[in-house]
Structure 1
């Protein structure tokens, strides 16, 4: 997706969020009927549960952006109760249960494990607390969901890898480093990537990487190099930037030069810097401000017992719940060619942040000044 199209999508989403609110009943009743919740003002208690802090985005972007938007929507009167599960599903379930006990008005949940959180989602539902699934589609009676089109993420990664390989696509084998099996998004990324790559490359090794950890990706890559041979690996599909870092370390340690193209996702600062130097071929840039804004808007509407209206532009099905009101945010493939038009233009990073220290020379070559 080009920048102009992406900008249009952001404007359209902003227009949808500006639609006047229409009350539809009580968040205290599972059927959305009238009740005390319809009288709620802006003094809301909103629970925010994020899954981990190894990926830079959650603490730096998601938390900050959601809190800021909720404050804007409620004139600073709402309270956000925040906790991070640090990649532990049982911890997140305890955090959710605690927030339910303390009677938050709504929960925003980015699940560590989409299945493990199901019982907590059910408890919230039984207590009349609405739940917004954020970034990952949790199981259970979810009331709303916002994320990116995750199949399209995988397609963007696979397409970029094929472009990087060019005529070398069938000269050797690629390694696929998928995300954690407990994350439903990882399955969508994998599905999208396979839809592009299957039949066009030879997949020598494929892994579902436990907990998305870079060190696990590094160990997997070392095993793939040993099994396939250094000269036979022509590219690596990595589902995100953190794992790409571990993969590239393994490739360098094995003395593989030049490095084969490696994909990524999340446009983490370290990932963008690797794209600048050429160590990593691409990342997937996702507009966290837009996703966070949608989640905050959904949460405030639901907490007040108001209809989501045109904010929920589509419906998705989870393994347990059909037709969850949703909004999916578009994504863009980030390469050397569009760093200036994506993460810099959107204010995610400054040129000084990207081009600090050892990255300055590479930035100069790209005209990033």
Structure 2
């Protein structure tokens, strides 16, 4: 083969290889092409101590996104309760080229500059469960003040005739960095004020250990015989509170929120009087639908059918769902009927008797 022929063969091979590589890129290879990045949705959740996030929210959102957009990818990370870490995760999502970011803020105020940085790069931000400050495109959650009202009413109902203006209760609220905590608190006070006396009120930071310590302090301050009920803003903290109450031989109504499996078990056993069930599936699926609509440039207002003003005064298209109070009386009609848990999951050996007494099988 002469030199000219060799050059023709080599040139032809290079062109063929280039065309082949281009064709592979267009076929949707997941190696990080610009086409691939264009169909990536980021998902950032705030902590690992709240059972629902890893158990329900993450898999439900991921599944729904992939049902609606088969070639979309979901990039996931969890802040593990660290606001600074979550800010770094937003920066990482920006660098990875996500086009939509679903964000459940660990610190709704502190994350504002990160939200702005993402939006400045053309990323649409969907606030999930907690309304982050900054120019978010949409927000999906439950009506959080009404959640607080449900909690307050459930506590009064459980207290029965002991619910008098002189009766002293303890309130353990959520983390002040979470805007939902303020709404739960406001809703609960709307129901409780004037009906009972809030003798001790502190933040438990959504942590069972902190809530336990706060209730121990409340027992010292108020006196164990004087505490007639305990408001806990969520089930994680209720677990720590229940331990403190048991250690001091105190048996009083105790609220919660999130319908954690352990909370359902405590309710059936008579250790916790109520929780609030915020079904993860409708919240997760509405969020995924909005995220995919934003990715594809579609109108999402049929899903986000109301608005909410954020702490930064942004008016945000929103979807606010209705929650349900759960007691012994309706465990079967809520978390069991919805398939959130099976009877087998609830009725472990330690709770077999409680399940039988409450008709759970």
TM-score (norm 2): 0.89
Secondary structure at 1:224 match in 2: helix
Structure 1 residue 309, shift from structure 2 partner: 2.6
Instruction: Tell me what 1:294 maps to.
Output: 286
Q: Is the 1:355–1:363 contact (alpha carbons within 8 Å) kept by the matching residues of 2?
A: yes
User: Which residue of the other structure, out of 182, 188, 208, is the alignment partner of 1:187?
Assistant: 182
1:1-369 pair list within 5 angstroms = 44-75=39-70, 77-170=71-164, 172-210=167-205, 212-256=206-250, 259-369=251-361
Moved over 6 A (4+): 40-43
Report the Cα distance in structure 2 between the residues aligned to 1:228 and 1:325, rounded to whole angstroms. 44
Q: Is the 2:37–2:98 contact (alpha carbons within 8 Å) kept by the matching residues of 1?
A: no
Secondary structure at 1:311 match in 2: coil
Structure 1 residue 245, shift from structure 2 partner: 0.7
Gaps of 5+ in 1: 1-39
Structure 1 residue 172, shift from structure 2 partner: 2.9
Structure 1 residue 304, shift from structure 2 partner: 1.3
State how many pairs are aligned: 326
Report the Cα distance in structure 1 between the residues aligned to 2:270 and 2:204, rounded to whole angstroms. 24
Report the Cα distance in structure 1 between the residues aligned to 2:46 and 2:271, rounded to whole angstroms. 28
Report the Cα distance in structure 2 between the residues aligned to 1:73 and 1:342, rounded to whole angstroms. 27
Q: Is the 2:279–2:323 contact (alpha carbons within 8 Å) kept by the matching residues of 1?
A: yes
Report the Cα distance in structure 1 between the residues aligned to 2:188 and 2:152, rounded to whole angstroms. 5
Structure 1 residue 322, shift from structure 2 partner: 2.7
Which is higher, the Rg of structure 1 or of structure 2?
A: 2
Secondary structure at 1:175 match in 2: strand
Report the Cα distance in structure 1 between the residues aligned to 2:221 and 2:301, rounded to whole angstroms. 53
Secondary structure at 1:206 match in 2: strand
Q: Is the 1:50–1:109 contact (alpha carbons within 8 Å) kept by the matching residues of 2?
A: yes
Structure 1 residue 195, shift from structure 2 partner: 0.2
Structure 1 residue 305, shift from structure 2 partner: 1.4
Q: Is the 1:49–1:110 contact (alpha carbons within 8 Å) kept by the matching residues of 2?
A: yes
Q: Is the 1:142–1:321 contact (alpha carbons within 8 Å) kept by the matching residues of 2?
A: no
TM-score (norm 1): 0.87
The superposition leaves residues 227-272 of structure 1 with CA deviations (integer Å, 9 ceiling, x where unpaired) of 111100000000000111111100111122xx10000000000000
Structure 1 residue 46, shift from structure 2 partner: 0.4
Q: Is the 1:108–1:134 contact (alpha carbons within 8 Å) kept by the matching residues of 2?
A: yes
